Amino acid sequence: MQTLENAAFAAWPARYEADVHGWHLRLDSGYTKRANSLNLTDRSQPLTHLQLEAIEQQFAARGLRPVIRLTSLLNLPTLEPLLIERGYRHSDASHVLCRALEAPSGERSPSAHFLTSAAQWMPAFAQLSGQGDEQAQAHLAILQRIAHPAAWAMWEERGVPGCCGLGVLVGEQLGLFDIVTGEAFQRRGLAEQLCWALLAWGWAHGARRVFLQVAAENQPALALYRKLGFEWGYGYGYWIKH
């Protein structure tokens, strides 16, 4: 599963990344905790108070609140008591779901089209998600740093975006991100169609496994992804200093 973790890091690049005591430190402008957190890896060592304080200073130097992302892939028993002692609180329990990818079935005809760049795709996502200008600019900066093949998918009706999503191919691993449906277009199966289109794109470009990240409390999304054949891979959550 560490392969999926590495693919997710590569698919969502932060402005600054470094290895710190076997942990993966990612710092950016504050948009999404994925790009602004200290991440557990299979090489992570237990942290001391002094080591954690030095890491916190790197967040502070960029005007960021310290965030630590822990996964179910490695257990460090001494860490959570240390985090609690230093004022961290747990939030945003999430799942990584995955499945093998196979050739698209002829019975499905995905109805989505692909844009040519992040800059073209971003306005649709911002509109559908209700994202403000400042967030959209920080989001776009991350998307424009993606160095791997990417699919900018959108479904629209009479020129109005109804659903959009992103696929990033890292080796044979296809990551799905930012799947969103506008409120007026929900309950029409658009996200399912869009996902099938992204899976077909991934297969055609050499993907043989697909993964995504979803909040544990997002029951509609979990139901959709189960329908698409995804299974639980591992869990993660964030510890945020208050």
CATH 3.20.20.80 assigned to domain 102-207? The reply is no
Q: Is the pTM of this model over 0.75?
A: yes
Q: What is the mean pLDDT of residues 121-141?
A: 96
Per-residue confidence (pLDDT) for residue 34, from 0 to 100: 96
Condensed to tens digits (0 to 9), the pLDDT of residues 186-226 reads 888 999 999 999 999 999 999 999 999 999 999 999 999 99
Q: How many whole angstroms separate alpha carbon 38 and alpha carbon 73?
A: 15
Per-residue confidence (pLDDT) for residue 150, from 0 to 100: 98
Per-residue confidence (pLDDT) for residue 110, from 0 to 100: 54
Each domain of the chain, given as residue ranges in start order, spans: 2-95, 102-207
| 181 confidence band (pLDDT: 50, 70, 90) | very high
Q: How many whole angstroms separate alpha carbon 142 and alpha carbon 14?
A: 7
Q: How many whole angstroms separate alpha carbon 82 and alpha carbon 92?
A: 19
Q: Is the pLDDT of residue 4 over 60?
A: yes
Question: Residue 69: helix, strand or coil by DSSP?
Answer: strand
Q: How many whole angstroms separate alpha carbon 158 and alpha carbon 185?
A: 13
Cβ(190)–Cβ(153) under 8 Å? no
Closest Cα to residue 179, out of 138, 209, 227, 214? 214
Q: Which residue has the tokens 């009479």?
A: 158
Q: How many whole angstroms separate alpha carbon 38 and alpha carbon 23?
A: 7
Condensed to tens digits (0 to 9), the pLDDT of residues 92-110 reads 999 999 999 998 876 555 5
Q: How many whole angstroms separate alpha carbon 119 and alpha carbon 136?
A: 10
Condensed to tens digits (0 to 9), the pLDDT of residues 5-39 reads 999 999 999 999 999 999 999 999 999 999 999 99
Condensed to tens digits (0 to 9), the pLDDT of residues 107-122 reads 555 578 999 999 999 9
Strands annotated E in the chain: 16-20, 23-27, 37-39, 67-71, 88-100, 113-115, 150-157, 160-170, 173-181, 209-215, 231-241
